[in-house]
Amino acid sequence: MPAKSIRAEYLKGLWQENPVFRQLLGMCPTLAVTGAVINGIAMGLATSFVLIFSSLVISSIKKLIPSQVRIACYVVIIATFVTMADRFLAAFFLPISKSLGPYVPLIVVNCIILGRQEAFSSKNSVGRSLIDALGMSSGFVLALLILSSIREILGSGTFLGHQVMGAWFKPWLIMIFPSGAFITLGILLAIALVIESKAKQRR
Amino acid sequence: MNLSSRMVIVLTSVGLISGSFLASVGLLTKERIALNRQQETEAAIVTVVPGTTNSQIVYEEEGFTVYEGKEDNGNLAGFAIYASGTGFQGKITLMYGTDSSMTKIKFLTIIEQRETPGLGSKITDVEAFLRYWENKDMSSSLTLHKPAASSPEELAPTEVNTITGATISSEKVLEIVNLSLERLRNLKKEGKLSSEEQDAS
């Protein structure tokens, strides 16, 4: 594998290998919690915390883990960080913890995290794994931010709870429903594909 | 060292280290979480029984607690009823306040819920849901007004509103309240709640 520059290693998570728009990973939280921007951001940050620390730990002990039990080890380590994040939110950020409800414990099964351990951290140095995790986290937060902004503005007429649409605006209830999440995600994926194919033609 | 013993050792130590980390995180946050819960209960009592400065438990059983709220001067401000039950996706815990003679529900507040974010979670929204619960008659079971009314004036004193798109969550809250109202009426009949009796004893 040709060594990428650190910059490229980070940037690939934002666009080229964006977990949501390009890899279609982690769809459960992406679709479920993006009805409001604050939930999207909180979910993005909680997932980032788990991803970054799991990558750090797993890349540093990768040589000790026999490959037959690697997945079991990854899951235990990931679950540890998820539980830490869950307790931390419940202790210090009660309103956010309440609005995310069951989706914080569900970060355990977010395939971005397990996917990055299997595809990257188990084969690369600690430093590179950290950069990769930072890039993927930023890409995930960015994707949730875009999706939740569109859904909250159209679905409730608000952004971060502040009214942004005038009184004439009638909220599109469908955007709050799961179907609205699928429709928005589909349109965003199509836009991402168009941009990508245009960029390829130019190359 | 052969492979299987290595696998056992690695998995066991990963588990042990993770476990001890979690135990310490649990210890560190336990107090804070318990404090949050207690503050929440106290704040909820003040919300549902305005004017309360001092509250105490008058009756308690699993998932159902009755608090008595007293004003500064010792007068009875009302009762706060804490009740819980199953919602659409998980447990719903709520609290409502009554007047001092237990004839009307004054206010309702949701303490804990795991309903669908953005839909069922609207049961915590004052504008959309909670304000439709003010001043409801406690003498019989309440019913749901469908389709959703747009202002509290449209509802009868025994009716509460539905949330558009979250009928099940609205029904579940109603179910929890109706069930606790029934318990409350029985307790009252048995004389277990009368504060005069408590004062005498």
In angstroms, the CA A35 to CA B100 distance is 40
Alpha-carbon Rg for chain B, nearest whole angstrom, is 22
pLDDT for B198 equals 47
- Chain A residues with beta carbon closer than 8 angstroms to that of B18: 76-77, 79-80
For A128-152, what is each residue's pLDDT tens digit? 999 999 999 999 999 999 999 999 9
A87 touches chain B (CB under 8 A): yes
Confidence of residue A33 (pLDDT cuts 50, 70, 90): confident
Confidence of residue A3 (pLDDT cuts 50, 70, 90): low
For A49-80, what is each residue's pLDDT tens digit? 999 999 999 999 988 888 888 999 999 999 99
For A34-50, what is each residue's pLDDT tens digit? 888 888 999 999 999 99
Q: Which of A56, A64, A65, A66 is nearest to A116 (CA)?
A: A56
What percent of chain A lies above the pLDDT cut of 70? 99
In this prediction, residues A184-191 reach a mean pLDDT of 92
Residue B117, pLDDT > 90, answer: no
For B151-182, what is each residue's pLDDT tens digit? 888 888 888 888 888 889 999 999 999 999 99
Give the CA dihedral A17, A22, A28, A31, nearest 10 degrees: 130
- Chain B residues with beta carbon closer than 8 angstroms to that of A68: 3, 7
In angstroms, the CA A31 to CA B44 distance is 32
Among the partner-chain residues B18, B25, B121, the one whose CB lies closest to the CB of A76 is: B18
For B4-21, what is each residue's pLDDT tens digit? 898 999 999 999 999 999
DSSP H stretches of helix in chain B: 3-48, 167-189, 195-200
Residue A10, pLDDT > 80, answer: yes
Contact (Cβ atoms closer than 8 angstroms) between residue B162 and residue B148: yes
For B90-102, what is each residue's pLDDT tens digit? 889 999 998 888 8
Among the partner-chain residues B10, B33, B115, the one whose CB lies closest to the CB of A91 is: B33
Q: Answer whether B33 sits within 8 Å of A87, measured CB to CB.
A: yes
pLDDT for B195 equals 52
Put the strands of the sheet holding B54-61 in their side by side order.
B54-61, B64-70, B76-86, B91-98, B104-112, B136-137
Contact (Cβ atoms closer than 8 angstroms) between residue A26 and residue A20: yes
pLDDT for B194 equals 59
In this prediction, residues B80-84 reach a mean pLDDT of 91
Q: Which of A54, A77, A63, A56 is nearest to A128 (CA)?
A: A56
Residue extents of the structural domains in chain A: 6-148
For A77-90, what is each residue's pLDDT tens digit? 999 999 999 999 88
Residue extents of the structural domains in chain B: 41-200
How many Cβ pairs within 8 Å bridge chains A and B? 80
What is the predicted ipTM? 0.75
